């Protein structure tokens, strides 16, 4: 089944996005080993995290509207790809592991009370080897020792950027940050 999923993703993503996906897999599997999380689950979640990234908004809305619990996210534009991807992975690819589906769903915006697998996919997407932005190396190093510290650095960078470009900030991202601050005892 894993080989079929790789074939499906390679065929459905442009080469640059597929290379990004391979980078996310590399980081996710390494972090899964580090944090004693099922490596197979991390590989599948990383492989499928952007399965719907290249869908147009109409397709994204189609998959989001298939699931009553996701309908109120309809105005988030391309951020829907995580939500749509989780529905697509379940309906079209036969993935039924809720941990994997949740990691796909929340890899862009996070959520309060993320599981370790969700955190791994979230941070792996942000720091895979093809990513190049200020302090990415510091975040990569932090991810190896304290995933919460890494996420906090990354989300602070993301929030600053979104504020600079006057973009909407999903409330899940703020909730995730606050929850992680609590987990860190800050």
Q: What is the DSSP letter of 70?
A: G
In this prediction, residues 52-78 reach a mean pLDDT of: 78
Residue closest to 44 by CA, chosen among 84, 8, 74, 69:
8
In this prediction, residues 172-179 reach a mean pLDDT of: 94
Which residue did the predictor score with more confidence, 91 or 1?
Answer: 91
Q: State the angle between helix axes of 136-145 and 147-164 in degrees (0 to 180), rounded to the nearest 10.
A: 150
**Quick one: 145 exposed, middle or buried, by C-beta within 10 A (0-12, 13-18, 19+)?**
exposed
| Domain region containing 64 | 2-183
This prediction has a pTM of 0.94
pLDDT tens track for 85-128: 999 999 999 999 999 999 999 999 999 999 999 999 999 999 99
How many separate domains does the chain show? Answer: 1
Q: State the angle between helix axes of 2-12 and 39-48 in degrees (0 to 180), rounded to the nearest 10.
A: 20
Q: What is the CATH number of the domain that holds 11?
A: 1.10.3210.10
Which residue did the predictor score with more confidence, 79 or 48?
Answer: 48
């Amino acid at each position: 089944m894993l080989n079929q999923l790789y074939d499906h993703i390679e065929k459905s993503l442009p080469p640059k996005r597929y290379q990004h996906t391979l980078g996310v897999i590399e980081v996710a599997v390494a972090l899964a080993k580090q944090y004693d999380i099922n490596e197979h689950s991390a590989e599948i979640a990383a492989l499928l995290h952007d399965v719907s990234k290249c869908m147009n908004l109409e397709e994204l809305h189609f998959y989001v509207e298939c699931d009553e619990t996701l309908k109120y996210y309809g105005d988030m534009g391309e951020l829907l790809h995580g939500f749509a991807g989780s529905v697509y992975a379940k309906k079209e690819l036969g993935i039924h592991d809720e941990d994997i589906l949740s990691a796909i769903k929340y890899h862009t915006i996070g959520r309060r009370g993320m599981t370790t697998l969700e955190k791994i996919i979230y941070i792996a997407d942000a720091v895979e080897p093809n990513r190049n932005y200020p302090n990415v190396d510091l975040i990569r190093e932090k991810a190896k020792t304290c995933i919460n510290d890494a996420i906090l650095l990354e989300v602070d960078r993301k929030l600053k950027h979104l504020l600079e470009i006057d973009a909407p900030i999903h409330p899940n991202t703020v909730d995730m940050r606050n929850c992680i601050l609590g987990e860190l005892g800050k």
